[in-house]
Amino acid sequence: METIKPLPPYASARAALRRALPALTPPELISVTDAAEKYMRVYTGGQWQPYRRADAPYMVEPQDTTVSRDYAATVFCGPSQSGKTLMLQAASVHAVCSQPSRVALFQMTREAAAEFERNKWSPMVRNSPDVAKRRDAGRGADNQYSKRFIGGTELTFDWPTATKLASFTGRLVMGTDFDRWADSIDGEGSGYVMMRARTRTLRSRGSVVIESSPGRAITDESWRAKTPHDAPPVAGGVLSLYPAGTRGRWYWPCPECGAFFEPTFARLRWAESNDPAECGATAQMICPHCREGFGHELKGELNTAGRWLHEAANGRELVRLGDPAIRRTDMASYWLDGAAASFATWAEIVGLWVTAVAAFDRTGDEEQLKTVTNTAIGRPYLPRHAGADGELSVQALRDKAAGNSTPQGTAPSWTAYLTVSVDVQGGRFVVGVTAWGLDGRHQPIDRFDLVNPPEGAPGGASRGIRPFDIAEDWAVLDGLATRSWPVDGAHWVLRPVALAVDMHGGGSTTEHAYRFYRGRRKEGQGKLWFLTRGEGGEHRDRVWLRAPERSANKRRRAASDVEILHMATDRLKDAVASSLRLTEPGRNWCGLPEWFGEAETAEFTAERRGPKGWVKKPGMQRNESLDHLVQARALHIQIKGETITEGSPPFWARLDADNPFADWVGPRAAVEAPKPTPAAPPRAAWIAPRKGKWL
């Protein structure tokens, strides 16, 4: 017979009361910063220490405002390493230890929420005894995404979905890295607006907190500030919220004249040097009032003496929070420049900036500059290609070409190698040839259309070329790899070191491109030719080789034997636009010759940079000139042209007998058709042939 286990004993009334009584404790009337100093420990200097407001004095007012009944929302824009995450933790600790309530913290993604709980929140709780002892026990009290505490506080770590934002109701809703959120949450609208709806029933006790580094594009590159603390219009994100608030900025008293001013990266000065570390070591802040400079060693002292100043309702004066003249709004908004951030030195920021500028000068790519501006300086990035109207103009480009009399089909005297770009259209192949110098300077030297079918193409004698439909028509490109162009003032002609063909178009363009490439590979030219594909949006790399994983045509297998040169077109077009804007010959300068027609020049202006990338302007049909330079830039990067040093260029970038792409044509010699490029065995990387052998 089965033995029945006895029931557990009744709970002790004394123990039950002891457990329940904390829930009846009245809220502790204490600020968020005071609660953090009283209860919270943070990891700093390699060890866990009590929270100190002196470490980041500029965070005191914003985090205390998160419980203010005067403001329904607090928005903070600032650089990384400024203490934004600690503000969210401090507000959470205040809810746990002082004013029990429901709190939700929304991260960018589910994975980010788990990472925050694992690496930020839980270690802080374990090392903060006063917080740890308030952890509730029992089933579901301590899950990865949900925490319960004695006294009634429930804390959830969430990520922005329409369901989660619609289901939560609580006193405090916080969002971090807001610029990485989608503009519309599951198609139902702004995440900020949805968060505000979750606290509405609590009236003045409810609070929404948003923090982020700025990461969205400026939508009006000709913008000028209309008020002291105005912000440029951006495509969503934290700075799209900031102007609707009190528009607070952080100010220091000058240690020389005592006048208050905003410490910004733009007010830093440093010695000119090619060494980023040396530049950083000499960085000084310049007071706009007395023009005196001082070093980073005073930052801590000046932050302690600093204050937030907000715009007055008249849009002219600056006042403290709580002043009756402040802007009338229910949002307290703050914007901190990276120069004032406690956890990053001026040497670090300046070093990052100088390194990024050098990378831009070397490659024309702005991604590193954009990252430093957003995360280290805490500002939205204005592209280097932006002019007064943010666009290239035909007249400016024609003015640039004036005086550049190099004839069509001739490379400038500074040329080291050539690339060829092919754009595929329904009734023509549009070919562009670009000359490259050792310092990245470049110039279109030829432009022509191939409109007649090659010999032997079906019906070729009675029709025009049809690349979209007839595979045999692609044979007209075969001779481009062995065609040569003379160098101005030299007895040399050059053949292209790399050729790119757009693989996308109507009809069967992609299949024909694969067939063409396989034919070139069979002829030993596989390392010269690249099939290109443009990829819009943000990408880690500017170019990358990858075989297709699937075919657009479900009835055909993917061409796994063909590696495609993928191009991050937005980044490459940014670089092309910057090069076209350079007026003085030098690194990455793009020259334009006088023979380049007005119609072809207009093709450079066919697109404009929008918040989400480059888009075709209304009414503009042709953009082959722009596409040619994008392909040329992609080839230049792929063959490591950016890494060339003028003192020791590779053999394929020298005008001498060791260059397999160069031929001598002495004063009495006729330019003869060059010999075909030697066959190449399959290799993983681009390697040019020497005469008679491959390396």
What digits encode the pLDDT tens for the residues 204-221? 888 999 999 999 988 877
Would you say residue 682 has pLDDT above 50?
Answer: no
Contacts of 209 (CB under 8 A, 6+ apart): 66, 73, 74, 75, 76, 87, 88, 91, 172, 173, 174, 175
3-class DSSP state of 241: helix
E strands within 314-375? 318-319, 331-335
| Confidence category of residue 393, pLDDT binned at 50, 70, 90 | confident
Q: What is the pLDDT of residue 471?
A: 93
Q: Give the pLDDT confidence of 309-330 residue by residue, as tens digits.
A: 999 999 999 999 999 999 999 9
Q: What is the pLDDT of residue 687?
A: 44
- How far apart CA 151 and CA 375 sit, in angstroms, is 38
What is the CA 345 to chain-centroid distance, rounded? 23
640: left (phi over 0), alpha (psi -120 to 50) or beta: left
Would you say residue 689 has pLDDT above 50?
Answer: no
- How far apart CA 60 and CA 213 sit, in angstroms, is 18
Q: What is the pLDDT of residue 169?
A: 85
E strands within 289-426? 293-294, 307-311, 318-319, 331-335, 417-425
CA-based end-to-end distance of the chain: 86
Q: What is the pLDDT of residue 80?
A: 92
Would you say residue 672 has pLDDT above 80?
Answer: no
Q: Angle, to 10 degrees, between the axis of helix 569-581 and the axis of helix 624-638?
A: 100
Please provide the CATH number assigned to the domain covering 51-213+235-245.
Answer: 3.40.50.300
CB-side exposure of 309: number of CA atoms within 13 Å?
A: 18
Contacts of 683 (CB under 8 A, 6+ apart): 527
Q: What is the pLDDT of residue 645?
A: 87
> In the chain, how long is the greatest CA-to-CA distance?
117
Would you say residue 18 has pLDDT above 90?
Answer: no
Residues in the chain: 695
Q: Which one is predicted more confidently, 193 or 168?
A: 193
Q: Which one is predicted more confidently, 688 or 38?
A: 38
Range from 109-118, 246-255, 293-302, 668-677 carrying the lowest mean pLDDT: 668-677
Tokens representing 666 are: 């002495």
- Region 341-346: mean pLDDT is 94
Q: What is the pLDDT of residue 7?
A: 78
Q: What is the pLDDT of residue 1?
A: 58
| Residue written as token pair 């913008």 | 223
- Region 636-647: mean pLDDT is 92
Q: Is 84 exposed, middle or buried (0-12, 13-18, 19+ CB in 10 A)?
A: buried
- How far apart CA 600 and CA 631 sit, in angstroms, is 16
| Confidence category of residue 620, pLDDT binned at 50, 70, 90 | confident
Q: What is the pLDDT of residue 222?
A: 74
243, 77 Cβ separation under 8 angstroms: no
Q: What is the pLDDT of residue 228?
A: 93
- Region 229-239: mean pLDDT is 93
Q: Give the pLDDT confidence of 62-119 residue by residue, as tens digits.
A: 999 999 999 999 999 999 989 999 999 999 999 999 999 999 999 999 999 999 999 9
| Confidence category of residue 691, pLDDT binned at 50, 70, 90 | very low
651, 658 Cβ separation under 8 angstroms: yes
Q: What is the pLDDT of residue 589?
A: 94
| Confidence category of residue 571, pLDDT binned at 50, 70, 90 | very high
Q: What is the pLDDT of residue 559?
A: 66
Name the CA radius of gyration of the chain, rounded. Answer: 32
Q: What is the pLDDT of residue 692?
A: 36
Q: For the chain, how many helices (H) and strands (E)? A: 19, 30
Q: Where are the domains of the chain?
A: 51-213+235-245, 251-328+345-382, 394-694
| Confidence category of residue 195, pLDDT binned at 50, 70, 90 | very high
| Confidence category of residue 24, pLDDT binned at 50, 70, 90 | low
Q: Give the pLDDT confidence of 601-614 residue by residue, as tens digits.
A: 999 999 988 777 89
Q: What is the pLDDT of residue 690?
A: 40
Would you say residue 4 has pLDDT above 60?
Answer: yes
